[in-house]
Amino acid sequence: MTMRIGVVTFPGSLDDGDAARAARIAGAESVRLWHGDPDLHGVDAVVLPGGFSYGDALRCGAIARFAPVMESIADAARGGLPVLGICNGFQILCEAHLLPGALTRNQHLHFRNRDQHLRIGTTSTAWTNSFTEGQEILIPVKNGEGCFVADERTLDELEGEGRVVARYTRGNPNGSQRDIAAITNAAGNVVGIMPHPEHAVEALTGPSLDGLGFFTSALRHLAGSAAGGQLTGGAHR
């Protein structure tokens, strides 16, 4: 059975087409989801793509979190639906309180666009099980408001619970606290990442193929869930 990964388009989304293409390259059927439509059309996982949803008015992701589709995604995520937020999608997940902390203006106040090395911190999420812990990967980063911040207690909890998914290595591009590039919720089904894995899935256009692992991880997770559901007589969906 082909797994279906939904990719949301908000007004101002920039990388929804790239995320949909990455899902297809990984072997999934990509399903386009519209911000104003709460129907998730039976998808098995969701990607919130990069861009400038609603023009970044008020604050990055602050309006998008109230979109009709986000109400459905938030409910489904709490029920175990795998959700990946990339860049602006990460900001939306934080605004929706599906992930802790916030993404603020880069400390140096400049937009940063470069190929960035990351170190994978955990492989126990729905989006990172194809990697190995400690693996270094190379994917693009491009943001002006990518500095992850949280209070010390939250930062300690993220580290203590193994919820830091990836850290910046060989230089921090935006001043994120403790070099955090990606985090997950406690259940491991919701992941937010500031760099762009969807831009590193083809040799022709990316600095590596390392980004593909996020999408193949989701398919691996879903396949395992489906097999478990069959064994127990139930269904993940």
Tens-place pLDDT, residues 188-225: 999 999 999 999 999 999 999 999 999 999 999 999 98
Cα gap 58→41, rounded to integer Å: 30
Query: Is residue 198 among the annotated active site residues?
Result: yes
> Active site residue: 94, 145, 147, 198, which one?
198
44, pLDDT greater than 50: yes
3-class SS of residue 13? strand
pLDDT at position 26 is 98
* pLDDT digit string, tens, across residues 139-174: 999 999 999 999 999 999 999 999 999 999 999 999
- pLDDT band, residue 236 (cuts 50/70/90): very low
Put simply, whether the predicted model's pTM sits higher than 0.75 gets the answer: yes
> Active site residue: 60, 87, 94, 147, which one?
87
pLDDT at position 237 is 36
Average pLDDT of the residues in 77-100: 98
How many residues are present in the chain? 237
pLDDT at position 229 is 55
Cα gap 147→87, rounded to integer Å: 11
Enter the CATH code of domain 4-230: 3.40.50.880
19, pLDDT greater than 90: yes
49, pLDDT greater than 80: yes
Cα gap 182→153, rounded to integer Å: 17
Residue with tokens 């489906």: 226
Task: Count H helices and E strands in the chain, helices first.
Answer: 5, 11
Cα gap 213→75, rounded to integer Å: 26
Query: Is residue 87 among the annotated active site residues?
Result: yes
pLDDT at position 1 is 80
Rounded to whole angstroms, the maximal C-alpha distance in the chain is 54
The encoded tokens of residue 89 equal: 């999608």
Residue spans of the domains in the chain: they are: 4-230
> Active site residue: 94, 117, 147, 196, which one?
196
Contact 149, 179 (CB under 8 A): no
Which residue, among 130, 128, 196, has the nearest Cα to 162 in the 3D structure?
128
3-class SS of residue 72? helix
